[in-house]
Amino acid sequence: MDYVLLTEQFLNGFQLGIILFLMAAGLTLVFGIMDLVNLAHGSLFMIGAFVGGTLALLTGSFVIGLLLMIPAMLVIGILVEVTALRTLYPRDHLDQVLATFGLILFFNEAVRLIWGPEGLVVPLPESLDGIVSLGFGITYPVYRIFIIVIGLLVAFGLYLLVSKTRIGMLIRAGASNRTMAGALGVNIPKLFTLVFGIGAVLAGLAGLIITPITQAQIGMGEDVLILAFVVIVIGGIGSIRGAFIASIVTGVIDTLGRSFLDVVLLLFLPANAAESAGPAVSSMLIYILMAAILFFRPQGLFPPKGAG
């Protein structure tokens, strides 16, 4: 195993982890505060990609498109929350699962109606199109570094928002005990609309920044959503810190597993067995990790303090 490839794959995994974090951060707050199962979070990822991508193509600049996408997603998120999700809070999980599953079908078809079935290609912004040398003979695409930097900035911003501001304090209070926070005078419905809006922006951001690599497709959010579920389960519902650590771990393990597991298996399996078992086992790796963590800590690694 040479270290150049290892470093590159490690960075790829880190970048996947960043995307997962942007998804999981919104999800974990929505789960944590309102105890709402939102399967449609993946749709917000997709909508962010299509709306942001269209804005970028219209304005001719990826960065302007990205900046315009933020208020657009905030509005879309708040609209979804006010029109559809608000009535679901007092309902049981089954109703929430079904209604948000209905939202997935609805949004997928809406995107098919508006943008057509073939998806949307958003070119890499020219200024970010290139490869940079990181020393020691390691080269890496500039755009992927851009994703990592954006993700780290957002993570830091979220950390400041949640742990240093008044709104953050309310969010934490809501996450650890919603009823008590409400009894103490916090306007929980309004707080939640805001949190959902922020979650929608983060999901949309994740969808948009991955689009130049993967292009925007219908249903693109669903696989990411399931990975984000794994992340939340590992990290503990309602914990931003847990979501961040679990995202990076999941991203790195998944990526390294896919690229190196067959090499590792070669050490103790015959060549043809290792070759066929490699992809199979590596696609299961993070789920095995999740099962193992659940076995020892059913609440995840970092459950918020005081959550029951």
Partner 1 sequence: MGALKNPANLFTALVLLIFALTPVVAPLIGESFYVTVFARIMIWAIAAVSLNLIMGYGGLISFGHAVYLGIGGYTVGILAFHGVTSAWIQWPVGILLSGLIALVFGAISLRTKGVYFIMITLALAQMIFFLSISAERYGSDDGLNILTRSDFGIGFFSLNDKLTMYYTIFAILLASVFVSWRMVNSRFGAVMRAAKSNDTRVQSIGVSTYRYRLTAFVIAGMMCGVAGLLQANLKRFVSPDMMNGHRSGELIFMVVLGGTGTLFGPILGAAAFVLLEEWLSAITIYWHFLFGALLILVVLFWRGGLNGLIDWIGRAAWRKRS
Residues within the interface to partner 1 (CB under 8 A):
31, 35, 37, 39, 84, 87, 91, 93-95, 97-99, 101-110, 112-113, 222, 226, 229-230, 232-233, 237, 276, 279-280, 283-284, 287, 290-291, 294-295, 298
Q: Cβ 25 to partner 1, closest distance in Å? A: 16
Nearer to partner 1, 36 or 252 (CB): 36
| Terminal-to-terminal C-alpha distance of the chain | 45
Nearer to partner 1, 110 or 124 (CB): 110
Residue with tokens 């949004």: 107
Nearer to partner 1, 91 or 164 (CB): 91
| Spatial separation of the C-alpha atoms in residues 77 and 87, rounded to whole Å | 15
Q: Cβ 146 to partner 1, closest distance in Å? A: 28
What percent of the chain is helix, strand and coil (3-state, nearest 5)?
80, 5, 20
In this structure, the number of other CB atoms found within 10 A of the CB of residue 279 comes to 13
Nearer to partner 1, 93 or 164 (CB): 93
Nearer to partner 1, 98 or 150 (CB): 98
Exposure of 167 by Cβ count < 10 A (0-12 exposed, 13-18 middle, 19+ buried)? middle
Nearer to partner 1, 65 or 303 (CB): 303
Yes or no: say if 26 and 224 are a contact pair by the CB < 8 Å rule: no
Yes or no: say if 308 and 249 are a contact pair by the CB < 8 Å rule: no
Q: Cβ 192 to partner 1, closest distance in Å? A: 16
Can you read off the two tokens belonging to residue 224?
Answer: 């990411």
Q: Cβ 291 to partner 1, closest distance in Å? A: 5
123: left (phi over 0), alpha (psi -120 to 50) or beta: beta
